[in-house]
Amino acid sequence: MINRSKRFLGLVFVFFCVATAFGQDKDTRFVSFIAEPSHIKLYWKDDKGQILRSIQNLKLFVETNNQELRFAMNGGMYMKDNSPQGLFIDGHATIRPLDTLSGGGNFYLKPNGVFYLTNTKAVVCQTKEFKGSEKINFATQSGPMLIINGEIHPAFKKGSANLNIRNGVGILPDNRVLFAMSKREINFYDFAEYFKSMGCTNALYLDGFVSKAYLPEENWIQLEGNFGVMIGVTK
């Protein structure tokens, strides 16, 4: 009888852990998607050199290459001409250099950071820690950092009234990539806290009220936009 009770309690504990983990993945405040690094690409222009701009155009572009767009969102801040603000690496080529300047706005709220991808690894790091490498396939720079070495950015205040739609990216403990966009306006602290609760040691803010996401398996379809770099996962 004692052994049966122990087994029952063990099963209850396992079920609780699984349910808790699943619940974390499904925080209803956010559109979220987890991807393997090798499945992620950054997009800016089509094969004719035209800026894609919208998720609709990105969807059509990948479909011309016999792929299906599974997930997409805008991938960092951009200038008035839709060129990337700060570092952009596409297919190992540095299209825009790293921006180490200071200035106003969210991009320059230090520390800001870089999200980059190699064939096997995804990294979010502070701008000052970024080191170029031939192994980097894609990279985008933005700011501010949301999570820095496991801690929420010190400039963020709990209960802040600075509310906005926000999207960002973080690296999970198993090296998969977590993308998230708030469905409603949220402050920086609460947004960063979500990435921390999911186990991200480092996470990066991508952009604010202009942000859109495409995730048809969750019935979240936003095809509009007028972006610079975009992030896409295809199948």
How far apart (Å, rounded) are the C-alpha atoms in residues 2 and 15? Answer: 20
- Express each pLDDT in 107-163 by its tens digit: 999 999 999 999 999 999 999 999 999 999 999 999 999 999 999 999 999 999 999
- Predicted pLDDT at 4: 53
| Prior bond of 154 cis (ω within 30°) | no
- Express each pLDDT in 3-25 by its tens digit: 555 454 444 443 434 344 444 45
Stronger pLDDT, 170 or 12, i.e. the higher one: 170
Supply the mean pLDDT for the chain.
92
Q: Where are the alpha helices (DSSP H) in the chain?
A: 2-25, 55-64, 188-197
Region 23-51 average pLDDT: 91
